């Protein structure tokens, strides 16, 4: 694993900036501006669909640590083959849907380790998406998942991901503590999106979770997009997030 743990990683290394752009040029421009201000950069489905693996290779060649956020979910053979491609791309972190089940996750984890060993490169961390933050218990129920609550389903999928050999999970700020309770293993990564730095709180948000609060609750990494991307001064915004995390750790 090359993503480290909460104890050994500086606040800057914990910040993942989401490159949620519609073109490679915009993503490269922002990376150039923030390359020394964050630990990792996230390429999600929008940017990947428009700019493809060439952009990922280019960012990696320029020294970027990339979180490839494509949430793979397919038959085990296909996900294992795709995991090998993610290793070849040189990403530091990527993910699959834990709802794909134990065999899918295990095959992906095994393929990741095998390919990294074959190439003699550091193994990327592989994490599981539990329940999307856009889903509530009604949506889960609609799809046939009759869990007692979203939290119960998150706990279940986090345990499954751990047992299948994954390195961690993606979890909303509200689920960090339940995940830590459910999976006691030291080094199990929790990557948390849905973070709003206090300086950028959106007017319509009733409950915000700051970077400091996410770290206090046990997040290893926080993913921040619009609060940095939409700022008139993205470097300053990124620095503010890092400072909030540092302060959160002290208190």
What is the distance between the alpha carbons of residues 72 and 57, in angstroms, rounded to a whole number?
19
- Phi/psi at 154 (nearest 5 deg)? -60, -45
> CB atoms < 10 A from the CB of 160, how many?
20
Are residues 15 and 224 in contact, defined by beta-carbon separation less than 8 angstroms?
yes
Size of the chain in residues:
251
Rule CB under 6 A: choose which of 128, 225, 234, 248 binds ligand C5P. 225
Binding flag, residue 13, ligand C5P (CB under 6 A): no
Identify the DSSP state of 124: P
Stretch that binds ligand C5P, among 112-120, 155-163, 219-227, 232-240 (CB under 6 A): 219-227
Binding flag, residue 224, ligand C5P (CB under 6 A): yes
Binding flag, residue 124, ligand C5P (CB under 6 A): no
Rule CB under 6 A: choose which of 78, 82, 133, 137 binds ligand C5P. 133
Rule CB under 6 A: choose which of 3, 13, 15, 18 binds ligand C5P. 18
Stretch that binds ligand C5P, among 21-29, 94-102, 119-127, 223-231 (CB under 6 A): 223-231
Stretch that binds ligand C5P, among 148-156, 183-191, 218-226, 239-247 (CB under 6 A): 218-226
Choice between 93 and 116, CB closer to ligand C5P: 93
Binding flag, residue 242, ligand C5P (CB under 6 A): no
What is the distance between the alpha carbons of residues 153 and 184, in angstroms, rounded to a whole number?
17
| Residue with the CB atom nearest ligand C5P in the bound state | 225
Report CA dihedral (197, 130, 125, 32) to the nearest 10 degrees: -30
**Burial letters for 96-117: b for 16+ Cβ neighbours within 10 Å, e otherwise?**
bbbbbeeebbbbbbebbbebbe
Rule CB under 6 A: choose which of 15, 21, 27, 44 binds ligand C5P. 44
Rule CB under 6 A: choose which of 11, 13, 20, 214 binds ligand C5P. 20
What would the x/- binding string for ligand C5P be over residues 192 to 211, using CB under 6 A? -xx-----------------
What is the distance between the alpha carbons of residues 228 and 91, in angstroms, rounded to a whole number?
22
What is the distance between the alpha carbons of residues 177 and 187, in angstroms, rounded to a whole number?
15
Interface residues with ligand C5P (CB under 6 A) are 18, 20, 44, 133, 193-194, 223-227
């Amino acid at each position: 694993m090359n993503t480290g743990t909460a104890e050994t990683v500086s606040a800057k290394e914990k910040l993942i900036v989401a490159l949620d752009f519609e073109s490679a040029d915009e993503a490269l421009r922002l990376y150039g501006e923030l390359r020394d201000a964050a630990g990792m950069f996230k390429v999600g489905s929008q940017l990947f669909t428009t700019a493809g693996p060439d952009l990922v290779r280019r960012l990696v060649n320029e020294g970027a640590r990339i979180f490839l956020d494509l949430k793979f979910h397919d038959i085990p053979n296909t996900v294992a083959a795709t995991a090998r491609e993610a290793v070849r791309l040189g990403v530091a972190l990527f993910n699959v849907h834990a709802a794909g089940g134990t065999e899918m996750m295990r095959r992906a984890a095994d393929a990741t380790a095998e390919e990294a060993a074959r190439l003699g490169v550091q193994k990327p961390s592989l994490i599981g998406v539990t329940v999307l933050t856009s889903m509530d218990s009604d949506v889960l129920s609609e799809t046939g998942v009759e869990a007692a609550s979203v939290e119960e389903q998150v706990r279940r999928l986090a345990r499954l991901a751990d047992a299948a050999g994954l390195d961690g999970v993606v979890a909303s700020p509200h689920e960090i503590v339940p995940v830590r309770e459910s999976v006691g293993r030291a080094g199990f990564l929790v990557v948390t999106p849905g973070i709003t730095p206090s300086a950028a709180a959106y007017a319509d948000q009733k409950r915000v979770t700051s970077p400091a609060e996410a770290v206090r609750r046990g997040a290893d990494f926080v993913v921040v997009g619009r609060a940095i991307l939409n700022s008139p001064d993205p470097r300053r915004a990124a620095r503010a997030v890092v400072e909030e995390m540092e302060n959160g750790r002290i208190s």
